[in-house]
A and B are shown apart, each in its own frame.
Chain A
């Protein structure tokens, strides 16, 4: 139990376009999900906390208008990178909270 999926697993998009990443808790309901960003050979940095039915809480320095988070149901949170630029290329990982955080497999975004 406690499986979290992400879709897509990797995506390539052109600069200026938007891309949506989905995070799903497959066998449990999660009122809270977290979005992390991981640069190559670096640690995970928390971007935002996604709460079902309410606005996400963003960490300092994260542009909320650029990284749109929607947590419309108890099993799905989405992260939309708007007007993507090459510097947004990264590995994005979500986690869903039950009694602890369960992590998804990650999405590799490459912006060309």
Chain B
């Protein structure tokens, strides 16, 4: 069975500071990994995905994530936080092709950006 652990249910940073959201996964097969962002009372928007190509994945809005197999991690980073980045972030894993199959989500990390 696959699972995702997001360390830190709540992360607070200052505007302009580095954003680091942690995600560790467990999978018995080569995983496909995703980061989604959710704004209040809205659905999910895909930030980026890892599908066994380059281990450093660049996404939208300046976010990127690095797949580290040895650490079973897929942490999300952004060099400089913006106020508009305040939202809930979910890491997810799939064993299907590019996320078209069943997704298993982590519990989410709420990012607060302070002025």
Contact = CB atoms under 8 A, between A and B. Distances in A.
Interface of A: 4, 6, 32, 34, 41-46, 49, 91, 93, 95, 97-101, 103-106, 108
Interface of B: 36, 41-46, 49, 90, 98-100, 102-108
Contact of B99 (A4, A43, A101): A101
Contact of A100 (B41, B43, B100, B104): B100
A45 B41 CA distance: 16
B30 to A, nearest CB: 17
A99 B98 contact: yes
B43 A93 contact: yes
A100 B98 contact: yes
A103 B43 contact: yes
22 contacts: A6-B43, A32-B100, A34-B102, A42-B108, A43-B105, A43-B106, A43-B108, A44-B44, A44-B90, A44-B105, A45-B105, A46-B103, A98-B100, A99-B98, A100-B46, A100-B98, A100-B99, A100-B100, A103-B45, A105-B43, A106-B41, A106-B43
Nearest to A49: B102
Given A100-B98, A101-B103, A108 B108 contact: no
B44 A103 contact: yes
Given A93-B43, A99-B100, 5 more contacts: A43-B107, A91-B41, A106-B41, A106-B42, A108-B41
A70 B56 CA distance: 40
Name the prevailing secondary structure of the A interface residues. Answer: strand
A103 B47 CA distance: 13
Nearest to B36: A103
A44 B91 CA distance: 11
Contact of B49 (A6, A100, A104): A100
Contacts of A34: 102-103
B46 A42 contact: no
